[in-house]
Structure 1
Amino acid sequence: MKIFSAEQLKAADKETMKKQNISSVELMERAGKLIFEEIHARMEKNKRPVKVFCGIGNNGGDGLVIARHLIQHLYDVKVYIVNYSDNRSSDFLKNYDRIKDVTKEWPVLLRSDDDLPELAEEDVVIDALFGVGLNRELDEWVKNLVLHINKSQSFVISVDVPSGMFCDEPTRDKNAVIAADFTFTFQSPKMAFFLPETGRMAGQFEVLDIGLDKEFLQNTETETHLIRKNEARLFYKPRENFTHKGTYGHALLIGGSYGKMGSISLTATAAMKSGAGMATVFVPKCGYEIIQTLLPEAMVITDKAEDFISEIAFDLKPAVIGFGVGVGKKDETLQAFGALLERTEKPMVIDADGLNLLAANKELLKKLPKNSILTPHPKELERLMGGWDDDFEKLEKAREFVKEYDVVLLIKGSRTITVTKDNYYINSTGNAGMATAGSGDVLTGVITGLVSQGYDPLTAAVFGVYLHGSSGDLAAKEMSEPSLLAGDIAKYLGAAFLDLEKMP
């Protein structure tokens, strides 16, 4: 699913009005009515009081459309106009006149802190103050209104975006953003919905198709894409008859140290459950019996050292190498890793202490095989490329890192983002229960297993993140988020593959 910028959506509006021969106020009516219908479907049997806060631009016009339809359906509606300027959009003014035709209780003008209305727990607040066109900080009294709404116990619904949020650049004052419980957004989710600093402010969101010109949307290229089941299904390569284990590759997983053998066992298990034809696990001697017991399907090679990896030697020709899980940061391990990079040409999957070794010895980054996949969590990412002031700067620095070292980079998080030279791929699956030890180790195994089967590194990364999150979602449905373990994610990979075959 394409994620359009505010400018692209503005251009889509213009093209739609031209091709469909409709006015901007008619398009506004269409959008506002869709949100009304969604609210009405949920509230028809329990008509709670509704308080609509409208700005004086087009987002406020949307709010007035919603309020008018609610009034016509006998809801208890109070409309407030946040009068932060004397400049009003023409579409706002047209809908301001229309609402006067359906109620004798005209909208209340708010001009200062003294005008802030009381909000009750049973109220539903509709936030239509500012839309995607916001490009400045809020006036102090408007900021106080935002804080007033956020402190209330009311249920808050935002129109298109939570007011105060910038969609395609850093939000300047993160304390002056509506904290929505639910956001109805038009045609495309906004990039800011998926970033740690601002995503929580959108709450749950639903994308409403307001009928923008399909040809324009199809032909407009975007740098950001949301990966859902429909997209993931296109990546999936079902197995064919007359194939054998060699068809699906031999994955070599290198990792583990004394006290950390569980991590590499999770990685190896996930690699096999994601479809690798064979897996060999390279571990210190102390891990031999552990891996043979936990994963009898895998083969095991041991280092000459008892408790850590000191020299990586093997005579097989793996389709892919996954390195770093539980490996530690000893000098001997560093030397072994450097030697491995010198003689490896195929893309690798590198995680955990493998990333920490790279971060502490940045000269090794230049030795990475082309298109290797790096899977850092935020702290590991910071060690690799330095800090950032905001999430948008983080994405730009990640892109520069990818260009410099010719790798595929995952930024792990609630909505993991895969970064390439030209694009961002945002994952849609996963849940808070996956914030548990070993979850990332499983992801490394999934991606390694997919590369082993012949998926190209980018597809393996994007598809692997989707499968990993889907497995976590299916597992959480059975055992709850708090009780979810990394091993459960690996166990449900089969269910995640089966889920791809189900119709939406």
Structure 2
Amino acid sequence: MLNLITNQQMRMADAYTCENLKIPSVDLMEKAAIAFVKAFISYCNPEREVYIIVGKGNNGGDGLAIARLLHQTGFKNIKVYILEKFNSESNDFVINYERLKQTEVPILHCTALNDLPPTFDVAIDAILGSGFNRELDLFFTSIFKHINTNSNFIVSVDVPSGCNVDSFNYNSYNGIRAQLTISFQRPKFFFTLPESQMVTEDFEVVDIGLSQEYIQSITSEYLWVDKEAAKSLLPRRKKFTHKGTYGHVLVCAGSPHMRGASLLCAKAVLKTGAGLITLLTNSDFFPFVNVLAPELMTKNINQFKDINLEKFSSIAIGPGLGTDEKAKELVHYFLRQNTPLVLDADALNVLQLEDFPKNPHESLIITPHVNEFDRLFGQHESWYERLQTAKKSAEKLKIIIVLKNQYTYICTPNGKVFINSTGNPAMAQGGMGDALTGCIAALLARGLNPQEAAILGCFIHGYTGDKLAQHYEVVSPSLLIDNLPKSLLDISKVE
């Protein structure tokens, strides 16, 4: 897992790298510029007109180095605008300014808004950087408004100018509104919140050579889950194992009007590798289950109290279950058991906050979307506020809260928040949450602890969707479920 750190901590990592790895700061800036350019050229044709607007600090120095490197790469239509609103220049800015003057790239100086061109094809924002944390004056707000309004494509260097990524109040944001931010070394935690859309529509992270060991030594509440982390959690299949090795999952789901949800969840369990799956549902649905998913066993939902739960490794409950009195009775019954449990959808809709066990054995996972979460835990004005409630509630109740989002947050009883890096808008269809519930329940059955199962289940679910979105504009839950085994194999491969 990768620690997500604050701007101040990132500056400390920068200083540590320069001092302990004996790298001059201007050389580290060159590495950052090289990494930026490598990412940028995949978004932008060299024939386009590129305007690089820079300040006079280190973010501006990055911009000057980027201009020189883009010119060397084959971008010929480049102009650099230096904003003369600064009392001093950083040393690395001066060095890169002298380097850029040795090229044919035009350098223009801007003292007023009229000095900028009326329109921008591609605008690279290297004006203020991450260190700026004060109120914007009229000069900057007018410059930023002009760039925002008159640019076809805005790319920010590390952070959009005017954005303080360690603050989460953007009710009156006047900074750059980028289409893309190419960020250095680590994702900015703020970029995982939906509120960040007013600051940057998308972001990409590039490695600029800071000390990974130092960054990982910093205490952080937020951790980024990438493919390497997922691979470390996925148990490898070994010789002489059998269906019993990979656990038995009980899926309690489906009602006469929502039978498909039960199948989606159960098939996700199957495709994520559980050894045995029993679907607890209405008996009149059994013939359809036998045809549509012959690998599944079935039990009559009206006889749930007769089931010997000791034979099951995990239970998934909720998809399509309904919210009648029978559903309430069933959910409350399973909440009182000791088997690792995943609650989703209607299993959450029939509960109140006071219904959760006071001293659970930390094997309860709930997977709410925003409306389900707010119904249980109260209305929230922002996603940051909502996440803080989820974090505190996971600690208080000793449960795992999987708060579903573009970047899903896995909140754990130990106060950590694991942020899933996978998933995309092509997956925005009903039933996708049912599939996620199945993924997590299967991984519980395969022997992962609740925290590991939630982290890996979210990653695999989103990773499969990301792979499919390269070929499909819409990724249905059924298509995703069928491709889960490919993702498991891909993640498990030794590189």
Q: Same fold (TM over 0.5)?
A: yes
The Cα shift of 1:103 comes to 6.1
Give the Cα–Cα distance (whole angstroms) in 2 for the partners of residues 454 and 448 of structure 1: 10
Give the Cα–Cα distance (whole angstroms) in 1 for the partners of residues 227 and 167 of structure 2: 28
Identity across the alignment (%): 35
Change (3 A) 1:235 1:430: same
The Cα shift of 1:332 comes to 3.4
Letter in 2 for 1:330: D
Instruction: From 472, 494, 498, give the equivalent of 2:485.
Output: 494
1:101-500 matches, cutoff 5 A = 102=103, 105-111=106-112, 113-120=113-120, 123-173=121-171, 175-198=173-196, 201-304=199-302, 312-317=305-310, 318-342=312-336, 344-358=337-351, 360=352, 362-366=354-358, 369-420=361-412, 421-478=414-471, 480-482=472-474, 484-500=475-491
The Cα shift of 1:173 comes to 4.5
Residue in 2 aligned with 1:308? none
The Cα shift of 1:312 comes to 4.5
TM-score by length of 2: 0.89
Give the Cα–Cα distance (whole angstroms) in 1 for the partners of residues 71 and 275 of structure 2: 63
User: Helix, strand or coil: the match of 2:350?
Assistant: helix
TM-score by length of 1: 0.88
Give the Cα–Cα distance (whole angstroms) in 2 for the partners of residues 100 and 243 of structure 1: 66
User: Helix, strand or coil: the match of 1:154?
Assistant: strand
User: Helix, strand or coil: the match of 1:172?
Assistant: coil
- Any gaps of 5 or more consecutive residues in structure 2? none
User: Helix, strand or coil: the match of 1:80?
Assistant: strand
Give the Cα–Cα distance (whole angstroms) in 2 for the partners of residues 214 and 257 of structure 1: 50
Give the Cα–Cα distance (whole angstroms) in 1 for the partners of residues 484 and 136 of structure 2: 47
Change (3 A) 1:200 1:285: farther
Residue in 1 aligned with 2:63? 63
8 Å CA contact 1:84, 1:139 repeated in 2? no
The Cα shift of 1:177 comes to 4.1
User: Helix, strand or coil: the match of 1:333?
Assistant: helix
Letter in 2 for 1:62: D
The Cα shift of 1:267 comes to 0.6
Give the Cα–Cα distance (whole angstroms) in 2 for the partners of residues 329 and 106 of structure 1: 66
Give the Cα–Cα distance (whole angstroms) in 2 for the partners of residues 475 and 95 of structure 1: 42
Letter in 2 for 1:56: K
Deviations for 1:439-463, whole angstroms, at most 9, x for unmatched residues?
1001101110111121111111111
User: Helix, strand or coil: the match of 1:429?
Assistant: coil
Deviates more, 1:183-192 or 1:367-376: 367-376
8 Å CA contact 1:164, 1:171 repeated in 2? no
Letter in 2 for 1:417: Y
Residue in 1 aligned with 2:10? 9
Letter in 2 for 1:314: I
The Cα shift of 1:261 comes to 0.9
Give the Cα–Cα distance (whole angstroms) in 1 for the partners of residues 327 and 63 of structure 2: 61
8 Å CA contact 1:36, 1:66 repeated in 2? yes
Change (3 A) 1:81 1:173: farther
Deviations for 1:115-157, whole angstroms, at most 9, x for unmatched residues?
553114xx32110122222323432442333233233343222
- Any gaps of 5 or more consecutive residues in structure 1? 306-310
User: Helix, strand or coil: the match of 1:197?
Assistant: helix
Change (3 A) 1:388 1:88: farther
The Cα shift of 1:105 comes to 5.0
Deviations for 1:414-461, whole angstroms, at most 9, x for unmatched residues?
222212233222222222221101010011011101111211111111
Give the Cα–Cα distance (whole angstroms) in 2 for the partners of residues 185 and 258 of structure 1: 49
Give the Cα–Cα distance (whole angstroms) in 2 for the partners of residues 241 and 29 of structure 1: 49
8 Å CA contact 1:328, 1:353 repeated in 2? yes
Give the Cα–Cα distance (whole angstroms) in 2 for the partners of residues 67 and 77 of structure 1: 7
